[in-house]
Structure 1
């Protein structure tokens, strides 16, 4: 029977996540979507809860398997009364369903024109039908990739330790042998094995004393489709998480601290006139650039109908449009700051900058601790120090709930860093579409994009945290899934065994830290350069 405390904690976490998701939706949604787009809103709310609960499952898994006496061996899934393997399997399927089915469908449905669409034959086509067609295409592509890779790379080579008992007369009792392989009797001189899921301390002690011989072997294991799909999702998501998460590790605390440093201050007459002139100039420049983009697109409409995403002209057009959107967004932010220093100064909440300072301070500590932990525990072949593992274990010894909350905080922080990194990357590099989250001005397309990004990064975050906290979470179900089965999948295992993604994440984080230190503030793209490029293309 499941432990009552674990059930209560899960219910409380579910309720908190639901409240947070609904609050974000209400607070950030655009007025145009207030009484519209109910299905995309449902997908977003559940997606936010799904991402948050996935991050919460890691500390819950640890508490379920480590919080009870005698929780060792192969029966750890039910130590706390919860079948964590079943729970993880459910989430392993819900995440790809949301990422590759529901979010694409909601996005295609939302972004379609109101009313009816025209298909290539000139016949009328409903928004639902159009969304279904595009979603089916996405499912087919993902299905082909999954089936192909599963048949090619789904066999894991699990390393095991093989202990060979020399003689019982040398002091190896049946009880000691049972502590190694969880069997009651093993004849002397016969090999008995245990995978590294178990605790090797006893076997290694007997080997050091000369009572057993030690050998290392591997056994093939065909992983389930559920486990493999989780590994494939984690592997694909790592490419996004390594880049965006690496940026966010520095950008998240830096932007919070800058928010405090650039807090609203009352302007005098001279400052007011100067700021107003600067904003007016930027508005006129962007209006002119917007007209040029409109003229260019109207002029290309009859002749340039190519939908190839790799078309050179289309790529330039998208980049120019993304730069224009970035400049408009930064202008809107500066206008808001200007109003906060002038007409809206008396209405500004003075506590908000100080809250940003507090969160920025703690974000700096968490980012620093993560980078140190990677260097001293994750990357060395033999860890230099347990670091965060020791901190979590100490909290568990004092008050178990604090240890679980600490793991949840460090895990969720990685998800927030990935979101921040994606947004920062879009601001500094115009090669991707910008989907900012702005209070009261966020369309559902931006919600869907950001929720999809979080879900794609959720599994690599869980895998990374399970590996990073392997000493603390050694008995957890997720460590057995990721640290044993998925990590030893032939092709994919190479990336995790050699810490390729982790090295990319660390190096990229340090490079971004240096870059953002030298250029902390997001600046609008050069209006002159953008105007010159548009002129050369329309000439």
Structure 2
């Protein structure tokens, strides 16, 4: 039977998320992008909505209660994840290449041609890798238990002395109370495992076997997106779960203080000298890259240059707050400190949940967050959904923070794409939305495992547990991912405590 209330919620929530994405663009966009770049803005709004939907579909799946709510959740999951993969691999990169192509590509003759070339290159790599892996590893190996026989005991058999035989320890197979000494029966059960309470029933099981079947290409594409998403989630999520509360509390501790005019002039001169130095470096890099083509060394230097410019701009903004705004609004910094403390509690809760529930599977030490969400869900269904949503979206925020922190510390791999209020260009929006999209699949899978008691009857749990997590070769990666996230978080905590401050890179031209 169709649940009308669930349909209303499924329509209203995406609409609210889309409005939130629009507000996010208006609040963060750079003045140069105002009233222009409409195509990237539409992609950003759709991408944010799609990522939110993919995360919030899990509580909808729970509320659907195994199909009783009227939603074909297995089909919806596949459709949403296929669209998510298209956005992350095709649409967002195309919009980003199109936006960044300020001049026409001489080879294609147009800005559109330049964007298509970059997008096709990404698609070719993904499609080729997917087809190759699907041919060799697109088979799921589902562990099964072969039950030889299970029967109910009517009357316990008697031995030669007329005493009841203990069925649980007997060497014979008893069928409906009759003892059998047939060698064929005994040989069949010789290497089997016997289960039962010894009175009501008895069951004989053979050794574990594997049921093999080739998964659909659509499900394998989802697996590939989840696989790459997990790699990014391990690195960026592991870093961000520590860096997010750490930086918020550190920013409060190092907040701008009121300074006199002479101190302001002294710091301003140092910033001016750094800006002149960076200007010369930028001109040198530009001169050595005709037509925008850079060598590997120049690309690293360019990324370091962007990191240094970002930190210089940060220092100048802090200087203006210290003198012109007399230290700024203190209440905002205390609000940031409280937010950092809340993030610290959530991060510790996630790390503790990984230790006592996820790593100790299949017999977890304690359900922990499962108990919290289910208790709140029993008290008021939306309360459990809200808490789940906060915990899930927090992981996505950690991915964005980890990506930014990773770019600041290991800036030679790729340029940073910071999000600033009133100063964010659309290419930074597109990059971060693409990152959120591709990791939203892995975050949902992570939450499915983290809240396995809460999601035990869901369609997504069936998809992941039956097919995705049992693919040849790839299934061994899922076993180490949880450990890898925890280890990455611990390493990040050690590095941040040893080197808490982000410093400008040394550029070697």
Interval of TM-score (by shorter of Structure 1 and Structure 2): 0.7 to 0.9
Would the aligned equivalents of 2:148 and 2:204 in 1 still touch at CA under 8 Å?
Answer: yes
- 1:171 to partner: Cα distance: 8.3
Q: Are the structure 2 counterparts of residues 208 and 365 from structure 1 closer, same or farther at C-alpha, using a change threshold of 3 Å?
A: farther
**1:517 aligns to 2:484 (yes or no):** no
Q: Which residue of 2 aligns with 1:287?
A: 276
**1:494 aligns to 2:482 (yes or no):** no
Q: Are the structure 2 counterparts of residues 161 and 171 from structure 1 closer, same or farther at C-alpha, using a change threshold of 3 Å?
A: farther
Q: Which one has the largest radius of gyration?
A: 2
* TM value normalised by structure 1: 0.82
**1:469 aligns to 2:451 (yes or no):** yes
Q: Are the structure 2 counterparts of residues 139 and 207 from structure 1 closer, same or farther at C-alpha, using a change threshold of 3 Å?
A: farther
Q: Which residue of 2 aligns with 1:81?
A: 70
Q: Which residue of 2 aligns with 1:183?
A: none
Q: Which residue of 2 aligns with 1:454?
A: 436
CA shift digits 1:144-191 (9 cap, x unpaired): 22222122211111122344444344489xxxxxxxxxxxxxx999xx
Q: Which residue of 2 aligns with 1:64?
A: 64
RMSD: 2.6
CA shift digits 1:167-216 (9 cap, x unpaired): 344489xxxxxxxxxxxxxx999xxxxxxxxxxxxx97668965222343
**1:273 aligns to 2:262 (yes or no):** yes
Q: Distance in 2 between matches of 1:349 and 1:342?
A: 13
**1:252 aligns to 2:244 (yes or no):** yes
CA shift digits 1:516-536 (9 cap, x unpaired): 1233232223xxx43xx33xx
Matching residue within 137, 152, 155 for 1:153: 137
Q: Distance in 2 between matches of 1:156 and 1:188?
A: 38
Aligned pairs for 1:39-188 (under 5 A) are: 39-65=39-65, 76=66, 78-114=67-103, 116-119=104-107, 125-170=109-154
Q: Are the structure 2 counterparts of residues 351 and 156 from structure 1 closer, same or farther at C-alpha, using a change threshold of 3 Å?
A: same
Q: Which residue of 1 aligns with 2:224?
A: 232
Q: Secondary structure at the match of 1:213?
A: strand
- 1:461 to partner: Cα distance: 0.8
Q: Secondary structure at the match of 1:491?
A: coil
Would the aligned equivalents of 1:92 and 1:226 in 2 still touch at CA under 8 Å?
Answer: no
Would the aligned equivalents of 2:241 and 2:489 in 1 still touch at CA under 8 Å?
Answer: yes
Q: Which residue of 2 aligns with 1:344?
A: 325
Q: Are the structure 2 counterparts of residues 207 and 338 from structure 1 closer, same or farther at C-alpha, using a change threshold of 3 Å?
A: farther
- 1:467 to partner: Cα distance: 1.1
Q: Secondary structure at the match of 2:449?
A: helix
- 1:39 to partner: Cα distance: 0.8
Number of aligned residues: 472
Matching residue within 238, 254, 264 for 1:262: 254
Uncovered stretches (5+) of structure 1, i.e. residues with no partner: 66-75, 173-186, 190-202, 535-539
Q: Are the structure 2 counterparts of residues 301 and 488 from structure 1 closer, same or farther at C-alpha, using a change threshold of 3 Å?
A: closer
Q: Which residue of 2 aligns with 1:182?
A: none
Q: Which residue of 1 aligns with 2:407?
A: 426
* TM value normalised by structure 2: 0.86
**1:321 aligns to 2:305 (yes or no):** no
Q: Distance in 1 between matches of 2:44 and 2:119?
A: 17
- 1:233 to partner: Cα distance: 0.9
Q: Which residue of 2 aligns with 1:70?
A: none
Q: Distance in 1 between matches of 2:323 and 2:28?
A: 24
Q: Which residue of 1 aligns with 2:213?
A: 221
Uncovered stretches (5+) of structure 2, i.e. residues with no partner: 157-174, 178-193
Q: Are the structure 2 counterparts of residues 171 and 368 from structure 1 closer, same or farther at C-alpha, using a change threshold of 3 Å?
A: farther
Matching residue within 398, 423, 427 for 1:445: 427
- 1:125 to partner: Cα distance: 1.2
Q: Distance in 2 between matches of 1:489 and 1:306?
A: 42
Matching residue within 371, 375, 380 for 1:399: 380
Q: Secondary structure at the match of 2:345?
A: helix
Q: Are the structure 2 counterparts of residues 409 and 188 from structure 1 closer, same or farther at C-alpha, using a change threshold of 3 Å?
A: farther
CA shift digits 1:11-43 (9 cap, x unpaired): 232122112100111111111111211111111
Q: Distance in 2 between matches of 1:9 and 1:16?
A: 10
Q: Distance in 1 between matches of 2:331 and 2:13?
A: 28
Q: Distance in 1 between matches of 2:292 and 2:352?
A: 49
Q: Distance in 1 between matches of 2:212 and 2:244?
A: 43
Q: Secondary structure at the match of 1:167?
A: strand
Q: Which residue of 2 aligns with 1:6?
A: 6
Q: Distance in 2 between matches of 1:462 and 1:206?
A: 39
Would the aligned equivalents of 1:252 and 1:417 in 2 still touch at CA under 8 Å?
Answer: yes
Q: Secondary structure at the match of 1:160?
A: strand
Q: Distance in 1 between matches of 2:84 and 2:427?
A: 19
- 1:428 to partner: Cα distance: 1.3
Aligned pairs for 1:340-379 (under 5 A) are: 340-345=321-326, 348-379=328-359
